A and B are shown apart, each in its own frame.
Chain A
């Protein structure tokens, strides 16, 4: 079995996007990233290959992220600084437009309720409904229905915020 460190390395981009979908400020993102890292290190010996590695990594990451988000909601207090804007690097127009769409999408995804946020993130990462079902421990039907609703909600929010 591959080491957890190399797995973390491979999924670091996707995991960073999970982190950003659940935590806004830099300090909170760092906190959550560490929690996910620790969660994966602890859970890794229990991975028996019943599901795909990708599904397992996302399952652990989402579980940790949800717990974290709920604890934050309970605590209420934000010591962290407010969300900082991403530093836009010089890029061609099309790339910039793509980045802006992605930032807007991230904002909309954060606003979704947990069950829909989860499926939206997983689908955006390229998981099929069958894999999403594996990650969330629900049937493929439930995953498909939630995904359908999540897409509709995102499209609706997008229309509302469009200039």
Chain B
């Protein structure tokens, strides 16, 4: 039997999603001095989030460079007749997606920079 919307609403609101997701990136969470520590000043939270975002964007940049190098090698192999064109599709798709991820990570670092700047100017 289909429950009433009221019933759904009660079930929904009782659903305990991982609310700590909002606190921080997973590798920074928990413990004293971690991001769940209520005594941690907000500016420090954002500084740590920025560090994580920056590390991630560097990692993505590194991967992208490796992927592009791989693509060049594959293109060279195609031109010389050792490989077929079929390899170009997945590689370029992967590079594009990774590029989009990198753009997002860079944007997040910029957002965090702006937040920290605002913080500094108001304190």
Report whether over half of chain B's contact residues are helix, strand or loop; otherwise say mixed: helix
Question: Whole-angstrom distance from the CB of A124 to the nearest CB of chain B?
Answer: 4
A140 to B21, CA, bound (A): 32
Q: Mark A35-57, 1 if CB is under 8 A from B, else 0.
A: 11110011001000000000000
B66 on the A face (CB < 8 A): no
Quick check: is A98 within 8 A (CB to CB) of the other chain? yes
CB pair A125–B115 under 8 Å, yes or no, is: no
What is the 8 Å Cβ interface bit string for chain A, positions 146-160, against chain B (1 contact, 0 not)? Answer: 000001001100110
Q: Select which of B10, B18, B20 is within 8 A of A98 by beta carbon.
A: B10
Task: Name the CB-closest residue of B to A121.
Answer: B12
The residue of chain A having its C-beta at the shortest distance from the C-beta of B100 within the complex is A75
Which residue of B has the minimal Cβ distance to A103? B15
Q: Which residue of B lies closest to A100 (CB)?
A: B11
Q: Tell me, rounded to whole Å, the shortest Cβ–Cβ distance linking B87 to chain A.
A: 17
Instruction: Fill in one digit per residue for B5-34: 1 if any A CB lies within 8 Å of its CB, else 0.
Output: 101111111111111111111100000000
- A106 and B2: CB pair below 8 A? no
**Nearest residue in B to A106 (C-beta to C-beta)?**
B15
The reply on A12 being an interface residue by CB < 8 A is: yes
A77 / chain B contacts, CB cutoff of 8 Å: 93-94, 97-98, 101
Query: Which of A29, A41, A71, A101 is the one whose CB lies under 8 Å from B11?
Result: A101
The answer to whether B22 touches A37, judged by C-beta atoms less than 8 angstroms apart, is yes
Contact of A34 among B18, B20, B49 (CB under 8 A): B49
The CA-CA distance from A14 to B120 in the complex, in Å, is: 30
Contacts of B46 in A (CB 8 A): 41
Q: How far is the CA of A162 from the CA of B1 in the complex (A)?
A: 8
Q: Which chain B positions have C-beta within 8 A of A71?
A: 100, 104
B115 near A99 with CB under 8 A, answer no
Does B70 sit at the interface, judged by CB under 8 A? no
A98 to B49, CA, bound (A): 35
Q: Could you tell me if B18 and A29 are in contact, using CB atoms closer than 8 angstroms?
A: yes
Residue A17 CB within 8 A of the other chain: yes
List chain B positions with a Cβ less than 8 A from chain A: 2-3, 5, 7-26, 42, 46, 49, 93-94, 96-98, 100-101, 104, 108, 111-112, 114-115, 118
Instruction: List the 5 closest A-B pairs by CB distance, nearest first.
Output: A77-B97, A16-B17, A33-B21, A102-B15, A124-B12
